[in-house]
Chains A and B, each alone.
Chain A
């Protein structure tokens, strides 16, 4: 991984990483590097992947995401991280994160999930879509041999998390569906040892892998990139319907769920789209699912478009509130009132935020201190 990639992954998080070559470790982990075998990886993994089937006449079909890539010998799926080795499908990224950091949970963003706590965040190279606006394209659109990776087993990840006294693990930055096996094993081990796992995903995953994964997770944040099919086809490189189906599946399973929509000028920023999205969420998921609108910044394949105007985001917020969604937030606008949580019943400010910082948390358990209304989430 290049230095710029790390800097991008760090973003405006608190923990600085001074990584310019593979012999160094993230600064925030510097004090523990001798505690385990954690260090730069020398080769890719060849652990057998889950959810694939062998095809008659040779080749395999991957079943972890809706793409169902058919892959011949020594070829890879669309994600670039799974490879056919003589009709055994292997994951090349198991135990090989290319980005590690400790972030505020608000950065994911998860606003109704243990506010003010941190998340040990990790990602491997690769992604199963190709969003033209991707801010992390240097890792998400790379193959694992093109990034500098660490060797970090699930056991080591859990130990590091405990040593740093971080209560949450976040699979984030790229698309965790493509490192499913690694995510699953860390989550399972972490759950047994009292650590919570959150998946930060585009939701482009098949039903069965998600079903098996959810018992290991404490929350999921999904990027609902649009409510329009053609946007998924032309801008994301995926499909909308499987994402909507998985959202319903998550909600029915009782998973704590928050949504993010990145508002890209001219591509998904009409009033009708905001309204349709709000209506779909209210009808299919419920009014109490938090929805975050975030501001687009030109990057990757969309350098020609401007930053999303604040007014557009405020319009989106107003429309979704008028449609009856209880918790609508605006992101990438530090200090904006819509970063904070208000009681939908009495209007009292419950959690006041500024950027990723919590200025005040007035919740009494999970209730409004003024009107006693129950506030959904995990607190």
Chain B
């Protein structure tokens, strides 16, 4: 059974600060792994060596992986024994990272932050294939890091229906433009099934503080729902299935069509389950929802 942990912020302020994210992450990591501390949790999840943090920065500041979330997780990694220069925050391009507020750093000092388009990085010489998808993969994923934390933003997507864990891996390949037909099905599944992506992704930390439930992947303020959560999992299919449930419930609350009714069915989740990438059946997912107070106090919660 795949576990998905939804950690909701139990306060009325916006909460998007490094301090709040830190509290949510510590609670979420412990619950995800059944470990007593975030240090043990991260050591359990991640092998030693360089660790990547694949952000989602295509939508600039308002709909990208928040800088405070990345800062909070970076510090937890350092506390867990990772060297700061072994942490690599990355995205497809430097332009996207900078536009989302990240400070680029490709040097040998401090936490690295770089796009695949950085001089000397680029894409793999090896060609990877999973059925309909054939791609080169970012050398950050294939050569620079030993493991990766996938850090998507949960949101609506004008073509895929849902952008979450699997869709974020489009930023790791050289030809994402070839993977959008048929509402990204089964492309999303097969991009995540490319060997280096499937084997190096060890943890997913999905931002769900403000959910763009319609009009995504860009920022459209009238369709933003203040959900106030981060979602953690190891299984990319299960976390997307839970994410889909959340987005669909918000859409229903707001009185707009479901993604399927809107002509954007999220079929790639079933396709991913079919090839063994994870669990797509909500009934088979071990869903844990907790609420975390400003002072770190925890209580049981519900999705809504």
Q: Judging by beta carbons under 8 Å apart, are B178 and A2 in contact?
A: no
Is residue A46 contacting chain B, with contact meaning CB distance below 8 A?
no
Is residue B134 contacting chain A, with contact meaning CB distance below 8 A?
yes
Is residue A190 contacting chain B, with contact meaning CB distance below 8 A?
no
Choose one: B127, B158, B175, B217; the contact of A80 (CB below 8 Å): B175
Contact with B along A60-80 (1 / 0, CB 8 A): 000000000010111111111
Is residue A216 contacting chain B, with contact meaning CB distance below 8 A?
no
Choose one: A76, A78, A142, A237; the contact of B174 (CB below 8 Å): A142
Contacts of A79 in B (CB 8 A): 177
Q: Judging by beta carbons under 8 Å apart, are B217 and A72 in contact?
A: yes
Contacts of A142 in B (CB 8 A): 174-175
Q: Judging by beta carbons under 8 Å apart, are B134 and A301 in contact?
A: yes
Q: Judging by beta carbons under 8 Å apart, are B178 and A78 in contact?
A: yes
Is residue B58 contacting chain A, with contact meaning CB distance below 8 A?
yes
Residue in chain A with minimal CB distance to B122:
A146
Is residue B129 contacting chain A, with contact meaning CB distance below 8 A?
yes
Q: Which of A75, A142, A300 counts the most B-chain CB atoms under 10 A from its CB?
A: A75
Is residue B181 contacting chain A, with contact meaning CB distance below 8 A?
yes
A76 and B93 alpha carbons, distance in the complex (Å): 14
Is residue B123 contacting chain A, with contact meaning CB distance below 8 A?
yes
The interface size of chain A toward B, counting residues with CB under 8 Å, comes to 22
Is residue B265 contacting chain A, with contact meaning CB distance below 8 A?
no
Q: Judging by beta carbons under 8 Å apart, are A237 and B177 in contact?
A: no
Choose one: B122, B132, B158, B177; the contact of A78 (CB below 8 Å): B177
Measured CB to CB, the closest approach of chain B to A261, in angstroms, equals 23
Contacts of A130 in B (CB 8 A): 178
A76 and B96 alpha carbons, distance in the complex (Å): 14
Q: Judging by beta carbons under 8 Å apart, are B218 and A2 in contact?
A: no
Measured CB to CB, the closest approach of chain A to B173, in angstroms, equals 10
Measured CB to CB, the closest approach of chain A to B181, in angstroms, equals 7
Q: Judging by beta carbons under 8 Å apart, are A77 and B218 in contact?
A: no
A315 and B181 alpha carbons, distance in the complex (Å): 35
Tell me which residues from 99 to 133 in chain A have a Cβ below 8 Å from any Cβ of chain B.
130, 132
Q: Judging by beta carbons under 8 Å apart, are B217 and A237 in contact?
A: no
Known: A72-B218, A73-B218. A141 touches B123 (CB 8 A): no
A141 and B178 alpha carbons, distance in the complex (Å): 8
Q: Judging by beta carbons under 8 Å apart, are B175 and A237 in contact?
A: no
Contacts of B181 in A (CB 8 A): 78, 237
A73 and B181 alpha carbons, distance in the complex (Å): 19
A-B contact pairs, 15 of them (CB 8 A): A2-B125, A72-B158, A72-B218, A73-B218, A76-B177, A77-B177, A78-B181, A80-B175, A137-B134, A141-B174, A141-B178, A142-B174, A143-B177, A146-B122, A237-B181
Can you name 19 extra interface pairs (CB under 8 A) apart from A79-B177, A146-B136, A300-B134?
A72-B158, A72-B217, A73-B218, A74-B58, A75-B58, A77-B177, A78-B177, A80-B175, A80-B177, A80-B178, A132-B134, A137-B134, A141-B174, A142-B175, A143-B175, A146-B122, A146-B123, A237-B178, A301-B134
Return the 3 tightest CB-CB contacts between A and B, nearest first. Answer: A80-B177, A301-B134, A130-B178
